[in-house]
Structure 1
Amino acid sequence: MILKDKIALITGGAGGIGLATAKLFLEEGAKGVAIVDFSRENLKKAEETLGSEKLMYIQADVSQAEDVKNYTNQVKKEWGKIDILFLNAGTEGLVKTMEHYPEETFDQVMGVNVKGVWLGMKYAFPIMKTDGGGSVIITSSVAGLRGTAQVSAYVASKHATVGLMRVGALEGAADKIRVNTIHPSPVDNRMMRSLEEGFAPGMGDTVKENFTKMIPMGRYASNEDIADLALFLASDKSRFITGATYVIDGGFTS
């Protein structure tokens, strides 16, 4: 019960990683968990899976300031504080070379993956400061540490989250707000199905097989693998850790 009495807010909370993390946080004693997601359909499915006790479900576009102000204020009004902010919402965009990459898709990816993180910290920091600090966890990617051809928007956005994390860690330290990024290799969920199909339409299984061969531990990460790392960073067991990049990739970047 290492999150006893803590309040958590998870963006992208109705997706694979977000849902697994919400479930784990509740199991570990969280007093309340707010699940923020763009998809009303996915929020409904999440409620059917997790129920409603100790949970709040909020539909929001994380790239829009009014939506972000609304979700942070709702959590503050309901539970009085935010101890854990898991900025996990993300979109993969398209698989295309830079010369063929649509500008509107680039803007969308940067809006969700970068602006969404910036807005999340912008509006949650004042709440966290008044309540003794807390932990901010940002989902980046191994793509935030290296390059991958044909996914320029995604790679750029995930590198940018590292910069935001480092600024957040410096600005939040005096108020006991810790900020860290996590960097998964391919995770066995919807986003990777989309990327696999994008890299080789109609041959997604082959792409997955090839990616798997590049991972020394011989498999994709599971949603639960990422949730376990998020739990550590959310808890007081990581109380002296901030400004760090946590790679969780089965040896992929070794």
Structure 2
Amino acid sequence: MKRTLTKEFLQSKTINLDNKVAIITGGTEGIGLAIAKIFLKCGISGVAIADNSKDKGVESIQKLECEFGDNRVLFFEGDMSQSKPFDRVFKETIKHFENVNIVVNNAGIMNDVKWETQINTNLSSAVIGTLLGMQYMSKTCFGQGGLIINVASIMGLIPSSGYPIHTLTQFGIVGFSRAIGNINHYDRTGVKITALCPGLTNTKLLKQASYHAINDKFHKEFKEESGGCLLQKTESVALATLNILHDSMPGSVWVVENNNKPYEIRFPEVADMRFKNKC
């Protein structure tokens, strides 16, 4: 039986993020904001939230500061699918907190109508954030090593005919994370890269998806494909990141769904697949 994520589960984990600093994209609401909260609860020294919504960012920072105190949270407005504003986030965060140890590439939209924007927001930002994270945290560049979590979705493993372009971006994040998370890169840089694929989660992204469907038929197909899945809380996804911090291997891919504890996906080796195809 899978263990449900609860407050007791969090309390049972030996989590200490003292002297750690995290950058989280898409962190003004939903999964990103939930991750910021759980990191702050676990004693992280600083969190930098990057998002393109200034109003939502100011509101979220005020709430976080009210709950967790001043001088632990920064907000950066900008398009993280572009290198320059994302690089500024790293530079300013290091200037303020003196280091960066964790990067959570969480920014994303679900809008196959505006597919070019979707590809940039979902995939380009994850690539840029990963490359910059490796650059600034790598032991070869006077960094201390670190962890990068690329947040995709269950559609990075199970394609959706209702949202084919969104599926493309999610498969891209998973494949990229597996490739650049290879142990060879980790041995060289000391930066561990993983992917997290949440199942259906109660976020604005999912609520807005119906309005952004190319047509009602595609949205109906998506609803049929996802039938039977529970709509989990954003806190469940945030708690899952704590497991990844401690339990994940470089290049691993994790799923969290139905408010359960996350589990790692085991991919078949190419050689095994070829052997089976010949038999």
TM-score, length of structure 2 as denominator length: 0.77
- State the superposition RMSD in angstroms: 2.4
Count of equivalent residues? 234
In 1, the alpha carbon distance for the partners of 2:240 and 2:148 equals 13
In 1, the alpha carbon distance for the partners of 2:199 and 2:191 equals 27
Find the counterpart in structure 2 of residue 98 from structure 1: none
Q: How does 1:202-213 map to 2 (within 5 A)?
A: 213=227
Q: What is the percentage of aligned positions where both structures have the same residue?
A: 21
In structure 1, which of residues 48, 63, 69 is the aligned counterpart of residue 87 of structure 2? 69
Pick closer, same or farther for the CA change 1:212–1:122 going to 2, 3 Å.
Answer: closer
Deviations 1:25-61 (A, max 9, x none): 0110101000111100110120121114311111120
In 2, the alpha carbon distance for the partners of 1:124 and 1:134 equals 8
Residue identity opposite 1:88 in structure 2: N
- Is the Cα–Cα contact under 8 Å of residues 22 and 46 in structure 2 kept in the other structure? yes
Find the counterpart in structure 1 of residue 108 from structure 2: 90
In 2, the alpha carbon distance for the partners of 1:15 and 1:185 equals 17
Deviations 1:146-196 (A, max 9, x none): 211231221000000012212321223422211111111110110111124
TM-score, length of structure 1 as denominator length: 0.84
Q: How does 1:230-245 map to 2 (within 5 A)?
A: 230-234=241-245, 237-238=246-247, 241-245=249-253
Find the counterpart in structure 2 of residue 124 from structure 1: 133
**Cα offset, 1:136, TM superposition:** 0.4
Residue identity opposite 1:128 in structure 2: M
SS at match of 2:90: helix
Larger Rg: 2
- Determine whether 1:248 maps to 2:256: yes
SS at match of 2:23: strand
Residue identity opposite 1:41 in structure 2: D
Pick closer, same or farther for the CA change 1:207–1:125 going to 2, 3 Å.
Answer: same
* Shift >4 Å, 4+ stretches: 197-201, 206-213
In 2, the alpha carbon distance for the partners of 1:121 and 1:148 equals 26
Unaligned runs of 5+ in 2: 1-14, 266-279
Find the counterpart in structure 2 of residue 159 from structure 1: 171
Residue identity opposite 1:137 in structure 2: I
SS at match of 1:118: helix
